[in-house]
Each structure stands twice: as structure tokens, then as C-alpha cells.
Structure 1
Amino acid sequence: MNQPAAEYNGGTIPEELYLLLMKRCLTRMLWREKYRPMTSVSGWRKVVFEPLQSLLRRVQLEVVKIEPDRVDERQDGRDWPLEAETMVGLKRLDNLQHCVTSVIRNDVPGDLIETGVWRGGSSIFMRAVLKAYGDCSRKVWLADSFRGLPQPDPARYPVDQGDTLWTYKELAISLEEVKANFSRYGLLDEQVAFLPGWFRDTLPAAPINQLAVLRLDGDLYESTMDALTALYHKVSPGGFVIVDDFGLPTCRAAIEDFRRARGITDRIHQIDWTGAFWQCSTENMGAIVSQSHATLHAAS
């Protein structure tokens, strides 16, 4: 297995060049998305637009608008791209590369998982990193409902009250589409595994022994807490927890509550305007494992 360099310094290492190309493809930074379909208009334009749109669809045409150059937004992961497999932007993909190459380089045991995958871009990239360095010992797990976010349950999770992400059809990407995206990059193989369903139903019984990277992208308090409760004690010392939505009050509250309850003091590092991560220390993980064993013993 090839060992990743400590950090990429802009050189010509083939593995690094492959991963740079993957990042630019997955974010569509390599080529510009020139047009975006017009889905709705307001005011008097609606009277003209809707009949025109209906007529054009009969002949497989649509009304589009010219997209502005979104390089800065795409760099920071601030927009919802039309075609890209990920919306996290280059900075969070750089961080993901750092975390995965670090666990490979330092022989931190465990698989990689993303909880909340959208079109699968970040998970595709994790598989690409394993491929680049010839790591055949780990799996990439994708946990998602593959039908969007759950409707908030404010009775149990008051912080989620009023959240409307569950109504966004753009976030409901099917398992078949995600698999097709993996296949497009030649990365759908036996090292990729899927956990379809709500986190509360799939993660507690997931057949995962150890994790080296836990990437959380569930947005809601409920989804974030469900993932942490089921998986955090499986993260190896030296492994990483990445929080894509730390900038959202719902997700941030879950992270802070979980860390406070478990006595986790590992420093949180900000990635960009919303992403954050921490590396799990031996001391904190020992406390978590003890609590987890106590919980399991009480349940039995």
C-alpha cells in the first residue's frame, strides 16, 4: 500500500494529482455549469412562464437562465450545484482528504462512514482516497434514507422545530442515483456499503466494528444525535469526527450536548464557514467506550 505524503505541496505526486482532479470533478469546479433551469417566477411573469414551460416540455425543451460564475461560492460550499455530486466545496474536501490520508498514514484502524450523503460526492471521494493509496482493508459506508430528511419531531427534539429541509425534493436522492454516481467514477465495488433508512433504525445495528473517520452530514439535531449515539464509541483513538453542518444551530446544539454529556474535550477545529472536525484522543475515547459498555450492560 502506498503511503500518502504528509501534506500536498502542489507537486506532481500521481496520487495527489488524481485526488485533486477528483475534487474538481465532484464539485464541478473543473468546468462551469453555464445554465440552470427556471423552475418558477413570480408576479406577472408567471402568467407567461407557466404556459410556455408546459408547451416546451412537450418537445423536450425547457427555459433556462445563465448561471453566474460561482467560483468563490463553490470553493466554500455555499451553493446547491445543479449537477455536481457534492455541495461541500473544495475546502471541506481538502479536510476530508487530510483526515483519510492521516488515518492511512498512521495505521488508525477502522472503516469510513458518512451519515447523510446527498448525491454521494464526499463518500465517492473517500473511496477515491483509499483507491489512490491502495488501501484494500477498509470499507466506505453510506448511511442515508435516500428519500430526504426526516420530518422534525419537536416533541422529542425541540431544537428541530420549524426546520423545513424535509420538504426539499432536491435533497431526496435515490440509492440508485448514488450508486450510478459511484459507477461513473469507477468506484462502486465491494469496499462500498450502503445503509438505507432512517439513522435511528439502521445505525444501532450496523455491522461496523471500528471507524477511523465518522463524517456527519445530517443537518438536524435528531439525525446528528442518532448518528453520534450509535457510532461515536466505535471511532478509534486517532480517528476523526467531521461535522459538515456545525454552522447550523440544530446540528451545533446536538454536537455540544453530546460532547458535554460524554465529557469530550478534544479541540474542535473550524474548516470553513460551516464545517468543523476534531481528532479523537485516547483519554476521551476510553471514557466513551466505558459509558457505552455500561449502557449495553444496563439494557441487557
Structure 2
Amino acid sequence: MKSFIRKLNTALNRYRLGGVKSLWRLLRMTCLPTRLSFEAMNNAVISHLSEKEIDLVRGKKLSEGVRHVIAHSVEGDIAEFGTMSGISAVALATALNTMKEDFIWDKGRNNERILWLFDSFEGLPEARFEVDASSPHVSTGLWEKGAFVDLSPERLTSIVSKYLTNSDIKVVKGWFKDTVPLIPSETKFALLHIDGDLYESAIDVLDNLFARNMISAGAMVYFDDWNSNVASPDMGERRAWNEVVEKYQIRFSDMGSYGIASSHRFLVHGYMSL
């Protein structure tokens, strides 16, 4: 009986806030089977990616991560490190916007989440560490200095703002080693999408955020290039993750790939910050 009253009050509050349209969103997200609620959100993501060259499964998996952290009250913002063409940023922005609208009815839930987009906007940095310089992708020239430069900060903002309001977007220009330490210490992150390719780029992000206790319990961490460089645990994102797992005693669940062979994701349960 109490559960029914709570649901009825929630529905009435949703109707007062946004009318019939908002009430339908509530019914869609809470009364329909989970498969259908996922489908509703993923369809929104796909509709915005339909003209992009992206594996739609990957876009959907990113959107599911956004749904997870919002639906399960994981504290913090969404961040992408390495934006290139803005395709995955569009998936994150679309999912974030959809979920923020659909969960505004839930009293006490904080939906004021920011999408942070970090990039040098100069392509890859020069490989300074031996672990990167000796890796197959760097030594063959695939990951050379300046590779993968694409959008300007202004162009990225213009693209993403079609799917999310400007007040919810922060585009940060510069190398991760310089920009990540400048993130305000009170900031928390619920989802990270790391796509900087190099070990140095990944460790610059992970080490700084874990050291400052900025990654929330329940957060999702996505790695775009997990299996690059012959999937060696001694190189790239694999090495960076293994190092911070040991250093900060991270407790996590392995959530598997998210759509392409090179990718992988984890769910963080807890860790020891410095």
C-alpha cells in the first residue's frame, strides 16, 4: 500500500511539473519493462548518431552507462578525455539530456550534472615515456605527434549544444597533465570515457582523479583503446589501469567490452585515495 501511495504521489508530482508529456515519460521509464526503457533512451541516441560513422552498439553502451549512474544515484558529472570528432560526446550528451529530463520528477535526486569534454585540440602529444615510444602504434607512426586532430573547441561546443544546453557543457582545451589538476577539488565524476590512446594520457587522468577522491563509488570507467598495442598489459590504457588499481586498491567489477574490439569498461566499487 505504501509503495502504491509513493508511486501515485510521484506520478501526481510529475504531472504538476510537466503535464501529460512528463507523466508519459515517468510511465515509460518506470512502468514499462526495463528492456523497453533502455530502448526508448537508446533510440534517442541512435536518432542523433544515424548520420555519423559510429558503431551504434558502442553509442548505446555509452548511453547505458549514463543511465546507470543517474538511475542508481551515482554522484557526479560525466567526462570524456579525448573527443576527436565529437561522435561519442554526442552519444553522452544525448543520453544525459534524455535521462535528466526523465528523472527530474524524482524528489531528492540531483540531476545537475555537467558533461566535461577534455582535449588538446592539437592531436596526440609527442610520446615522452618509453612505454609509449616503444609501443607498436607509436613506433609504426600510427600514433604520431599530432595524429587525430579534428574539431576546434568552438566547433565541438556547437555540435554538442544541439543535444544538451550550453550550461551543462564544459569544453576544456589543453594537455591532460595540465588541465586535469585544475578541476575544482569538490568535483565528483560518475562516468569517465578515456580515449587518449597513450599510456601517458590515461595515467595523467586516472592518477590525478583517484588521488583526489574525485571518482564516485558506482562510477563507470570506459577505455576506448583497451586492446590497442597487441592488448599488452604493459602498455597503454591497460598498464595505466593496472597501476592505479594497485596504487589505490581499487575494488571493481569488469563489465566487458562496449561495442568495439578495442574497448573495455569497469564499474568502481571503492578505493583508497591519497
Q: CA deviation at 1:122?
A: 1.8
| Residue 193 of structure 1: aligned partner | 170
CA deviation string 1:73-100 (max 9, x = no partner): xxxxxxxxxxx3x64x222222212211
Rounded Cα–Cα distance in structure 1 between residues aligned with 2:75 and 2:156 = 26
SS at match of 2:166: coil
| Residue 20 of structure 1: aligned partner | 43
What's the TM-score, normalizing by structure 1?
A: 0.66
| Residue 264 of structure 2: aligned partner | 276
What's the TM-score, normalizing by structure 2?
A: 0.72
| Residue 68 of structure 2: aligned partner | 102
Structure with greater helix share of residues:
2
In the alignment, which of 115, 122, 125 is matched to residue 140 of structure 1?
A: 115
SS at match of 1:247: coil
Q: Percent identity?
A: 25
Q: CA deviation at 1:239?
A: 1.2
Give unpaired runs (5+ residues) of structure 2.
1-13, 15-24, 105-110, 230-235
SS at match of 1:151: coil
Letter aligned with residue 273 of structure 1: A
Query: Aligned-pair RMSD on alpha carbons?
Result: 2.7
Letter aligned with residue 204 of structure 1: P
Q: CA deviation at 1:137?
A: 0.7
CA deviation string 1:250-293 (max 9, x = no partner): 22222222223333342323214111111111xx32x1x2xx2x
| Residue 263 of structure 1: aligned partner | 249
- Cα gap change, 1:202/1:148 in structure 2, threshold over 3 Å: closer, same or farther? same
Give unpaired runs (5+ residues) of structure 1.
29-83, 293-300
Rounded Cα–Cα distance in structure 2 between residues aligned with 1:127 and 1:177 = 15
Residue pairs, 1:32-71, within 5 angstroms: none
Q: CA deviation at 1:7?
A: 7.4
| Residue 246 of structure 1: aligned partner | 226
Larger radius of gyration: 1
Relative CO higher for 1 or 2, CA cutoff 8 Å, sep ≥ 6? 2
Range that drifts further, 264-273 or 226-235: 264-273
Q: CA deviation at 1:178?
A: 1.0
In the alignment, which of 114, 128, 148 is matched to residue 94 of structure 2?
A: 128
- Cα gap change, 1:158/1:268 in structure 2, threshold over 3 Å: closer, same or farther? farther
Q: CA deviation at 1:200?
A: 0.2
Letter aligned with residue 139 of structure 1: I
Rounded Cα–Cα distance in structure 2 between residues aligned with 1:170 and 1:124 = 18
SS at match of 1:266: strand
Preserved CA contact (<8 Å) 1:119 1:177: no
CA deviation string 1:91-132 (max 9, x = no partner): 222221221111111111101100011122222222222221
Preserved CA contact (<8 Å) 1:147 1:173: no
Rounded Cα–Cα distance in structure 1 between residues aligned with 2:209 and 2:157 = 23
In the alignment, which of 160, 165, 172 is matched to residue 182 of structure 1?
A: 160
Range that drifts further, 206-215 or 100-109: 206-215
CA deviation string 1:140-170 (max 9, x = no partner): 0001001211111135755555254235655
Rounded Cα–Cα distance in structure 2 between residues aligned with 1:140 and 1:103 = 13
Letter aligned with residue 263 of structure 1: Q
Task: Give aligned pairs, total.
Answer: 225
| Residue 218 of structure 1: aligned partner | 196
CA deviation string 1:20-48 (max 9, x = no partner): 243254253xxxxxxxxxxxxxxxxxxxx
Rounded Cα–Cα distance in structure 1 between residues aligned with 2:112 and 2:176 = 25
Range that drifts further, 191-200 or 174-183: 174-183
Rounded Cα–Cα distance in structure 1 between residues aligned with 2:215 and 2:226 = 19
Preserved CA contact (<8 Å) 1:146 1:197: yes
- Cα gap change, 1:111/1:253 in structure 2, threshold over 3 Å: closer, same or farther? same
Letter aligned with residue 200 of structure 1: K
